[in-house]
Amino acid sequence: MTKTITHPYLPNTNSEIKTQMLKEIGIESIEELYQTIPDELRYTGKLNIPEALNEFELKREVGNLLQENKGTNEVISFLGGGCWQHFIPAVCDEIASRAEFVTAYAGDEYEDHGRFQVLFEYQSLLAELLCVDVVNVPTFDWGQAAATAIRMASRLTKKREALVPKTIAPERLKIIWNYCSPDIEIKLIDYQEATGELDLTDLKNNISGQTAAIYFENPSYLGFLETQGEEISRIAKSSDVITIVGVDPISLGVLESPAQYGADIICGELQPLGNPMNYGGGQSGFIATRDEIEYISEFPSRLFGITPTSQEGEYGFGDVFYDRTSFAKREKGKESVGTQTSMCAITAGVYLALMGPEGMAELGQTIMQRSQYAMKKLNEIEQITSSYFNNVSFKEFVVDFNETGKTVAEINQYLLSKGIYGGIDLSEEFPELGQSALFCVTEVHSKADIDALAKELRSFL
């Protein structure tokens, strides 16, 4: 007879303790506890799942599985478009892997004072970058943050249309569509062919008595900067339309905050601030506004505030205006709240605390220098135009391969064989750009990386 091995994750399964517990309950077998489940609903088979592995076997098995991946750390990758490769300080990883934080959940302020404080600090640090007074405990991602910002604007104005530029990230647009339907209609606004920026005539033509909000992105999905922010928000304001700007916060060491050119609501993505890409599992969104009760009332998210305690000189933290939320009011609350992405926000807070004002400015400069260098190097290749748009960009830009006679798919396949992940193929997302790709260059790309890309493109084309 083989010895039964007690599973290390499962106490109370050895027969002695089990018998004792059953006796205290007053029953003879665990089966009696399932009497409420009718026979017809009982699953009597054995689950068709592989037999248990011990820890050593598990490490080998999953380790082998992961070996079938080739990470961006093993190649040179120019993929971006909403999830970006950035330098992650070791302290971010250290804090993000602390068991105290990793395994905490929804405790109150007395058990989890630290959790409340780090999230309040995250709100406060991001607020400095954004120049606003209110930042939420995060949403799922930028797309959902943008959708919620639009829904907030719709509730504030009691209007049911929102305008977004055609250059919006397709992933985000899909999320916005789904989150806003059936209540809010999303209308796409044309862009200027030369620069990619919003077509203000089309914007004005589309503003109506039903328009709740204009949403645009800066930097845009296609990398260029929207330089007309002030004018867009002026046009919006004159029609009582709310201006929402989506932003990549890592740009704000060198770029002006949207709050300075008229944004009423700012949203964006926290992944670049110290969070690993994790195949898209590192996404996390934020929403920020002014400290005005009308705006704060419309947040679905938790908002942590600061308070004194009964002990002088001690900080406490807790939920501000909890009665807004679906936790308090179910379907009568604002949208819904639940588990979202707090750990990514904590990490973003650590990141900003480490970087400080100098770090963010230097980082922004490095990204702009390297991306401009990459644009220049690629533009030197005869059949390539880099970038497609005549505009300033931050860390991403559209490379025009239309004159090469090759598809982006073919080019990327070649680059892949040389250990390079080329830019995102835009030929399906933006057919009007033909064979073009979105390249991302950040502070992690050395001159040698960029030169290698140019060299391989030359030799293929």
Partner 1 sequence: MQEIKSQKKVRDFHQAKWNEPVIFELHQKGERGVVPPRTEEKIASTIGDGVSKLPGHLKRSRAPELPEISQNRVLRHYLRLSQETLGAAFNVEIGQGTCTMKYSPVVNEKLVASEKLRSLHPKQDEETVQGTLKATYELDLYLREISGMDYFSFQPGSGTQALFMMASMVRAYHEANGEGEQRDEIITTIFSHPSQAATATVKGYKIITLYPDENGFPDLEKLKDAVSERTAGFVVANPEDTGIYNSKIKKFTKVVHDAGGICYYDQANANGLLGITRAKEAGFDMCFFNLHKTFSTPHACGGPGSGAVGVVERLKPYLPKPIIEKHGEKYVLNTNLEHSIGKVRSYYGVAQNIIRAYAWIRALGPDGLKAVSETAVLNNNYLYSKIKEIKGVDVPYAEGGRLEQVRYSWEPLYQDTGITTEDISRRMADFAHQYWTSHHPYVVPQPFTLEPTESYSKEDLDEYIRSLTHISNEAYTSPEVIQSAPHCSSIHKITTDKYFEDPEHWAITWRAYLKKYKNTKEKQT
Q: Residues 37 to 66: which contact partner 1 by CB under 8 A?
A: 37-38, 40-43, 46-55, 58-59, 61-63, 65-66
Window 307-346: residues binding partner 1 (CB under 8 A): 307-311, 313-316, 318-322, 326-331, 333, 335-344, 346
Q: Nearer Cβ to partner 1, position 207 or 345?
A: 345
Phi and psi for 178 in degrees, rounded to 5?
-70, -40
- Minimum distance between the CB of residue 407 and partner 1, rounded to whole angstroms? 14
Hey, what are 14's tokens?
């050895």
- Does 276 engage in binding with partner 1 (CB under 8 A)? yes
What are the distances in angstroms from CA 204 to CA 163, 190, 208, 225, 234? Answer: 10, 11, 9, 20, 11
Taking the complex as a whole, the smallest distance from the CB of residue 396 to partner 1 amounts, in Å, to 12
The torsion angle over the Cα atoms of residues 297, 298, 303 and 305, rounded to 10 degrees, is -20
- Contact flag: residue 15 with partner 1 (CB under 8 A): no
User: What is the layout of strands, in order, in the sheet containing 185-189?
Assistant: 134-135, 285-289, 265-269, 242-247, 211-217, 161-165, 185-189
Supply 182's token pair: 């059936």
Which residues from 59-118 bind partner 1, rule CB under 8 A? 59, 61-63, 65-74, 77, 79, 81-83, 85, 87, 89, 91, 94-95, 97-115, 117-118
Amino acid, res. 308: P
Q: Nearest Cα to 151, choosing from 172, 174, 127, 182?
A: 182
Check whether the bond before 182 is cis (ω within 30° of 0). Answer: yes
How many residues in the shown chain lie near partner 1 by CB under 8 A? 207
Alpha-carbon gap, residue 444 to 121, rounded angstroms: 27
**Nearer CB in complex with partner 1: 331/432:** 331
Return the residues of window 187-206 that contact partner 1 according to CB under 8 A. none
Contacting residues for 423 by C-beta, under 8 A, at least 6 apart: 78, 79, 80, 399, 408, 412, 437, 438, 439, 440
Q: Which of 246, 253, 268, 272 binds partner 1 (CB under 8 A)?
A: 253
**Residue selected from 153, 163, 165, 179 as contacting partner 1 according to rule CB under 8 A:** 179
Q: Applying CB under 8 A, does 447 fall inside the site for partner 1?
A: yes
**What is the x/- site pattern for partner 1, positions 201-230, by CB under 8 A?**
------------------------x-x-xx
User: Quick one: 48 or 459, whose CB is closer to partner 1?
Assistant: 48
Residue 25 or 403: the one with the smaller Cβ distance to partner 1 is: 25
Q: Find the binder of partner 1 among 369, 390, 405, 455 (CB under 8 A).
A: 369
**Contact with partner 1 (CB under 8 A) among 155, 195, 359, 434:** 359
On whether the CB atoms of residues 143 and 175 are closer than 8 A, the answer is yes
Nearer to partner 1, 207 or 261 (CB): 261
Instruction: Map the footprint of partner 1 across residues 374-433, applying CB under 8 A.
Output: 376, 392, 412, 416, 421, 424
Q: Which helix (H) or strand (E) holds 31?
A: none
Query: Per CB under 8 A, which region of 159-167, 206-214, 291-299, 379-387 contacts partner 1?
Result: 291-299
What's 191's DSSP letter? Answer: B
Name the one range near partner 1 by CB under 8 A: 21-29, 191-199, 203-211, 400-408.
21-29
CB of 132 to partner 1, least distance (A): 8
Query: Got the DSSP string for 399-440?
Result: EE-GGGTS-HHHHHHHHHHTTEE-PEE-TTT-GGG-SEEEEE
